[in-house]
Amino acid sequence: MATVSMDQVNKVYPNGFHAVHDLSLEVADGEFMVLVGPSGCGKTTALRMVAGLEDISSGIMRIGGREVNDLSPKERDIAMVFQNYALYPHMTVAENIGFALKLRKLPKDKLDAKVKETAEILGLTEWLNRKPGQLSGGQRQRVAMGRAIVREPSVFLMDEPLSNLDAKLRVQMRAEVSRIQRRIGVATVYVTHDQIEAMTMGDRVAVMRAGVLQQCDNPQVLYDRPDNIFVAAFIGSPAMNLYEGTVGDGGRSVRLGSQQIDLPGAVTVAHSGLASYAGKTVVVGLRPEHLPAAQAGLTGPVLTGDVDLVEALGSELVIHFTIDAKRVVAEGAHAADAEAATISGEGVARVDPRTPAKAGDRLNFAIDTDGIQFFDPDSGAAIWT
Amino acid sequence: MRNRKRTGWHRFINGVNISTFLVALFIGLPLYWLIASSFKTPVNIGVDPPQYFPDPLSLSNYKSAFVDYDFGIYFRNSLIVTLIATALVLFLGTLAGYALGRLPMRGKFPMLVALLMISVFPEIALIAPLYILLEHLHWLDSFQALIIPYTAFNLPFAIWILRNYMLGIPKEMEETGRIDGASPLRTVWSIILPQALPGIFTAGIFCFTACWTEFLMALTFNSSNSFRTIPVGVSLFGTIDITPFAQIFAAAVIATVPIGILVFIFRKFVISGLTSGAVKG
């Protein structure tokens, strides 16, 4: 039985704004489910409906098998970590962690023992008598988690808890949050706008856009088999290159601008639905990591581009190039796309750091056709069989 | 050399410090004169050339203020009226400020505008009708004759300060409280109020000062000596023939002590309470 079950849940605000549309999602016991999407996609609203902080306009919300639509947050057996931690600034770390237990009138000795145990799990023992104002961002974040853990809820809810941390600390805390969640083994719903966080932390990732669930799957499936253009462009960094292409006879080739790309048999079989688009325009997706620099003597399909910019990251080169095909924008996936759309045919490739490339060069990229994606230009849906 | 760094006390010589010193002098000199004069003998208060430091240093003025002029009664009355009115203002103002700042309710804006209008209404225009009302209630010459009007007149300002302060407290605080299992009242008591303390202190200090120094209503509603407050009592120290400056100075010094102590203790809250909500933090 799923710990959290959302069945056609909707949220419509009094001013008529429809924030969440027919959301159906299940979170199993112990599962780490990530809700990801751009700002305003409804992920936080969905989380708040699980918590009971927002009323549900229609649909059924279940936690632990019982319907909770009309139950208060306290009665739902959930714990929540907010983006700004919401620690009580006038209480010590120990008092913050133990506050919920104090409200339940737990005997003092048991309360102190549970607080101490929780502090040990989180490495907060030496900070128990400090106030939140005396702690670093990472420590405050752990106190917020401690306040949630100590209650032993059946569901953890986390609303972008790492957003206020600097980049380096965020990477460190990502691992720590995952470690703690696995140790506690409680079903967790985690909201973030960062797709890297989503991919690294989630057992499953639910991608949302404009209040609608786009796809919910494990991270690798989202990466390899995105259901539509939005998911394809949102997942992956740098974002997938999307171009308008014309399908050849039988779906055995595709033309990007002046360049024809012949598709291997395995790709044609996997995307057999492409044959029905022969002579028509589709959207072709190529991830930057699937465009390594072509080696001399390579026989497979190649994409030739004019190098605009080379960014050396040490472990790889990120090459910005241009081809004479029209770039497609996945609306809302990345803010940079709107600007990129005006630069026709711009693309990004990730190549070996020793590749001799500089701005102004013409470079051949070997296309890893196993990763190539195709989408219907009208519906945006992926084309498979 | 022009850019040589100043050392020693020279580094304090700059425009800002000089201006600050002059302003402090302008404010502080009259206060010093008041305190110094309160310790002078009556003869030495008006002497020419003036005595800049009391010699001999005498406490007789203070004793006389209490013994000869009933200052003890006035001080007691001021304390009772001010403390009770301030407590009422803070209690009601905190609840009202919370409701207007945090709770979803209709008509907030009209209420706030009405409060603002009340707070700027001239007190003198209401003295006569209030007098008649208190007379009908048989409340003239009583503590409640001042406590109730003081509460009413100071409440709007307190509500504004407290409401603005409450607005600055993140709403996640209440949501966390709800999730933890706190009732609405428990949330206010354990979570919101402790964070609103600076605003409460600010409102309290302003209300205390206003009640402590109020003159018009105290003069009009309480004519009996046993219910007079400090401002009225001290103003009546003198007669047609004599103005006892020495005792007046002594009484004035004593009267400023409670306010001085309060402002000194809570000084850091006064600024933060007034400016809270002005900047997102």
User: Which residues, in sequence order, are CB contacts of A3 under 8 Å at separation 6+?
Assistant: A27, A28, A29, A31, A63, A64, A154, A155, A187
Q: Which amino acid is at A252?
A: R
DSSP assignment of B226-276: GG--HHHHHHTS--SS---HHHHHHHHHHHHHHHHHHHHHTHHHHHHHHHT
- Same domain? For B203 and B87 the reply is yes
- Between CA A12 and CA A58 the distance in angstroms is 9
- Same domain? For B155 and B52 the reply is no
Mean pLDDT on A39-50: 95
Give chain A's mean pLDDT: 91
pLDDT tens readout for residues A116-143: 999 998 889 999 999 999 998 889 989 9
- What chain A holds in terms of domains, given with CATH numbers, is 4-230 (3.40.50.300), 232-375 (2.40.50.140)
Q: Which of B170, B181, B195 sits opposite A100 (nearest CB)?
A: B181
- Same domain? For B190 and B72 the reply is yes
Parent domain of B204: 65-275
Q: Find the chain A residues whose C-beta atoms sit closer than 8 A to any C-beta of B.
A: 51-53, 72-74, 78-80, 82, 84, 86, 88-90, 99-100, 103-104, 147, 151
Does the residue B1 lie in any domain? no
- Between CA A78 and CA A32 the distance in angstroms is 15
Contact A73 B175 (CB under 8 A): yes
Mean pLDDT on A50-68: 95
- Same domain? For B38 and B131 the reply is no
Angle at which helices A137-149 and A108-122 cross, to 10° = 130
- Same domain? For B106 and B159 the reply is yes
- Same domain? For B38 and B93 the reply is no
In this model, does residue B143 exceed pLDDT 60?
yes
Q: Does B184 touch chain A (CB under 8 A)?
A: no
Range in A258-267, A325-334, B227-236 the model is least confident about: A325-334
Structure tokens at A205: 């990732």
In this model, does residue A62 exceed pLDDT 80?
yes
pLDDT tens readout for residues B58-99: 888 899 898 888 899 999 999 999 999 999 999 999 999 999
Residue A159 pLDDT:
94
Residue B3 pLDDT:
56
Instruction: Tell me what percent of the residues of chain B surpass a pLDDT of 90.
Output: 46
Beta bridge partners of A312: A317
pLDDT tens readout for residues A197-216: 999 999 999 999 999 999 99
The sign of the CA dihedral A122, A128, A132, A135 is: negative
Does the residue B123 lie in any domain? yes
Residue B277 pLDDT:
46
Q: Best interface-test mutation with B: which of A13, A53, A150, A155 has the largest number of B CBs within 10 A? A: A53
Query: Predicted confidence band at B278 (pLDDT cuts at 50, 70, 90)?
Result: very low
Does the residue B280 lie in any domain? no
CB-CB contact of B147 with B88 (8 Å): yes
- Same domain? For B108 and B33 the reply is no
Place of tokens 């790492």: A162
- Same domain? For B250 and B266 the reply is yes
pLDDT tens readout for residues B151-160: 999 999 999 9
In this model, does residue B280 exceed pLDDT 70?
no
pLDDT tens readout for residues A306-362: 999 999 999 999 999 999 999 998 776 665 444 444 457 899 999 999 999 999 999
Does the residue B281 lie in any domain? no
Range in B67-71, B116-120, B136-140, B150-154 the model is least confident about: B116-120
Chain Cα centroid distance, residue A71: 30
Give chain B's mean pLDDT: 88
Domain boundary among B47, B62, B77: B62
- Same domain? For B34 and B148 the reply is no
Does the residue B3 lie in any domain? no
Task: Provide, as residue numbers in chain A, all residues whose Cβ is less than 8 Å from the Cβ of B179.
Answer: 51-53, 73-74, 78-80
Residue A94 pLDDT:
95
- Same domain? For B219 and B160 the reply is yes
Task: Provide, as residue numbers in chain A, all residues whose Cβ is less than 8 Å from the Cβ of B194.
Answer: 88, 90
Domain boundary among B62, B79, B108: B62
Does the residue B2 lie in any domain? no
Q: Which amino acid is at B280?
A: K
- Same domain? For B79 and B97 the reply is yes
In this model, does residue B2 exceed pLDDT 80?
no
Residue B91 pLDDT:
95
CATH, residue B81: 1.10.3720.10
Structure tokens at B255: 């009267």
Contact A80 B179 (CB under 8 A): yes
- SS3 of A174-225: HHHHHHHHHHHCCEEEEEECCHHHHHHHCCEEEEEECCEEEEEECHHHHHHC
Instruction: Tell me what percent of the residues of chain B surpass a pLDDT of 70.
Output: 93
In this model, does residue A192 exceed pLDDT 70?
yes
Q: Residue A226: is the preceding peptide bond cis (ω within 30°)?
A: no
Terminal Cα distance for chain B, rounded: 43
Mean pLDDT on B140-144: 95
Q: Report the predicted TM-score, pTM, of the whole model to 2 decimal places.
A: 0.80
- Same domain? For B24 and B70 the reply is no
ipTM surpassing 0.85: no
- As for how many domains chain B has, the answer is 2
Does the residue B249 lie in any domain? yes
